[in-house]
Every structure is written in C-alpha cells, then in structure tokens.
Amino acid sequence: MLFFSISVSLLAAAGSVVAAPTLHHHARDRENGTLLLIGVNIAGFDFGCSIHGSCHLSQVTPPLTSLGGVDGVGQMRHFAKDDGMDIFRLPVGWQYLVNKKLGGDLDAENAGNYDQLVQACLATGSHCVIDIHNYARWNGKIIGQGGPSNAQFVSLWTQLAEKYAGTDKVIFGVMNEPHDVPNIDKWVETVQAVVTAIRKAGAKTQMILLPGDDWTSAEAMARGSGPLLLEVKNPDGSTDGLVFDVHMYLDSDLSGTHPDCVTDNIDFAFQPLATWLRSHKRQALTSETGGGNTSSCEKYLCRQIQFFHENADVFLGYTGWSAGAFNPETYHLSEVPTKKGNKWEDTALVKACLVRKPSTSG
C-alpha cells in the first residue's frame, strides 16, 4: 500500500498532452482500448512486513488451504475463469524467503510454500508477479545505502531467477514501494544490478518491473526516479521487458488508507505519466491501485481504469489491491471474493471496475 501524501492542490493540476510515436510493446502490439494484463494482488505471504522492511514471520498468513489459510487458489481460479483476469501479484517478504538469513539461500520450506502459490497462479494460465514486499529495506536499513549490500539483494534475485527462468509468465517485481531513499542514483545502481543478475541467471525474456522512490508513485515517476531509471538496461543494452512499476490510490491523501475516493488521478498523475512514457517509448504497469467498496470509489476507480484502457499503448495493465488473506469484513480495501456454495461473489468494486468487460477484451 502507498503511504505517502501530496498536496491537495495537485489534484486539480492538469497534464499537457503531446503527440508521440506508436510504440512496439513488450508482449505484442496493442491498440488503445485493450489492456494486456488485468488482475489483483493475492496477499498473505507479505503479512507482518512493515514499511521499514521488518517482517515478522509469525504474522505470515499464506493464502493456501494446504497451509491452513484461505483459499487463494480458488480465488485466482475464479478471477481468471469468471472475470477474465490474467495477472496476479504475489507479495512476499524477503525475510520469509530466506528464513531471516540475509544473503543466504532460499529456505527450502518457506520458498516451497510460496512456490505453491506461484504454481497455482501459473496453472490458471495467468502471469504471476513475484513481489518482494520490503520497501527497499531489511529491518529498517536501505539496500546499498547502509543496509544490505547490493550483492546480498542480488543473491536473492539470482536464486529466484534461476528457479523461474524457464517460466515465461513469471514477472519479476524487483521491490515494493521504495520510499525516502536518500540517494536515488545509488538506488538505480541497485536496480541495475538486479536486472543484470536476473538476465544472467537465464531469465532472458521475462518482464521485470522497475521501482522508483516515492512509494513508486505514478504521480512522481516522470519527474522523480523515472529519468534515472530510463538508464537501466539489459546486458545486451536493450530495454526489452523492462517496465516501470507504479502505484496510485484514490483517497484524500493518496495513501490507500481510507475507504472513500476523491480523485481518478488522471489529470495530475496518469496523463502526465502517459505523455512521458510515450516520449521515451516505454511502458508501465500499475501493480497497486484500489479503494473501498463505496460509491465514490466505484466512480473514480472506474474512470481511472477506463483511462488505462484508452491509453493501453503505454499502460500494460493493473493489479488491484487486494484479495488473498485479508478479512473481507474488516479490511477497507478488500477485493476478496466470497464463496457461496460452488460460486464466488465479487466485491462491489471488483464487479464495477476491475473485471475484464466484454467491450474491452482482447
């Protein structure tokens, strides 16, 4: 979730529109009106992780009935079969994967548990995002800037890339929501090191999501981390498969901590970002967005999603926050469907805005 705030005055700011060339896209050429990827987050393996990058493993709640949790597998099957979704983001804590051993090997049991979710996702035919949910940190200290070394972070990603190198539909989400990073140049060096390691580990073609500072804010990307992240390249010098990772919520301070929505984020965030992406022939994926199951969020989120469809040349898609192990009766941003007999019932917001509508299907 996003926790940063920006001034309310930005909500009224309009971005200028400029002409841009047609792009060649990561997976295939897209026409405006059809998003390549739509889906939701399936949370639970990230539970216990704070914005300081501390992860309390006792709070991890795997969304797997085989491990005593909720039926995240059934949720994904429903979303894919009934709602036309084709991407699921699977957040997980770094500490969980290595059982708190910084720089160590993937823990056989914990990584195996997480792999159950990845394999269930892949079995639906969907793309599956491996998301390290640590906010650019390990126990409060920033990667490559006084905390874990780049080599220790690269070790994690090398092992993950080797494990999933033969799986085209796995997407590598380098890091969830870096924030308050003191030296963005050093952070870009960290991201570059990870990209290079993933490719050299054999994952030559899979999509890699590039995270900037500022909680990966869509509003901040073009004027903040984006220009530096443009320089991140594959070992062959190309940018094929390197996609900007952005988040954006719709509540009063854009933090994703309130059930009501007040903006569609278009004029001050997504329109300027679309213009910037076109000017550099690049693309983004919105890996977190959402709101409460309220009329205001249905109004504004549906507008935002429609804008993505209308600008599908630069926006590959979105994953809403969140389904998985959240309690749908208490969590204000719940996208958790409810099973009634043999059928699943979506939340009001998912029904209204997030499912793939026939008019926009590819």
Choose among 353, 291, 298: nearest CA to 322: 291
Q: What pLDDT, on the 0 to 100 scale, is given for residue 31?
A: 55
Does residue 21 lie in a domain region?
A: yes
Q: What pLDDT, on the 0 to 100 scale, is given for residue 360?
A: 41
Q: Which residues of 66-83 are buried (b: 16+ CB within 10 A; e: fewer)?
A: eeebbbbbebbbbbbeeb
pTM equals 0.92
Does residue 1 lie in a domain region?
A: no
Does residue 292 lie in a domain region?
A: yes
> What does the block give as tokens for 189?
């060096």
Does residue 2 lie in a domain region?
A: no
Q: What pLDDT, on the 0 to 100 scale, is given for residue 153?
A: 99
Residue type, 98: V
Does residue 285 lie in a domain region?
A: yes
Provide the annotated active-site residues. 177, 288
The residue range of the domain holding 259 is 8-357
In terms of C-beta density within 10 A (0-12 exposed, 13-18 middle, 19 or more buried), how is residue 57 classed? middle
Number of domains in the chain: 1
Distance of CA 315 to the CA centre of its chain: 13
Does residue 322 lie in a domain region?
A: yes
Does residue 362 lie in a domain region?
A: no
Provide the residue-wise pLDDT of the chain in tens; the chain has 362 residues: 654 333 222 222 323 232 222 223 344 445 556 899 999 999 999 999 999 999 999 999 999 999 999 999 999 999 999 999 999 999 999 999 999 999 999 999 999 999 999 999 999 999 999 999 999 999 999 999 999 999 999 999 999 999 999 999 999 999 999 999 999 999 999 999 999 999 999 999 999 999 999 999 999 999 999 999 999 999 999 999 999 999 999 999 999 999 999 999 999 999 999 999 999 999 999 999 999 999 999 999 999 999 999 999 999 999 999 999 999 999 999 999 999 999 999 999 999 999 998 644 44
Q: What pLDDT, on the 0 to 100 scale, is given for residue 32?
A: 57
Q: What pLDDT, on the 0 to 100 scale, is given for residue 283?
A: 99
From the CB of residue 149, how many other CB atoms can be counted at a distance below 10 Å? 14
Does residue 3 lie in a domain region?
A: no
> What's the DSSP call for residue 325?
S
CA distances from 117 to 40, 66, 158, 241 (A): 14, 10, 20, 23
CATH number of residue 310's parent domain: 3.20.20.80
> What does the block give as tokens for 70?
């909720």
Residue with tokens 């599908």: 312
315-324 and 284-288 strand pairing: parallel
CA distances from 353 to 2, 39, 44 (A): 20, 11, 23
Q: What pLDDT, on the 0 to 100 scale, is given for residue 22?
A: 26
d(C-alpha 147, C-alpha 9), whole Å: 36
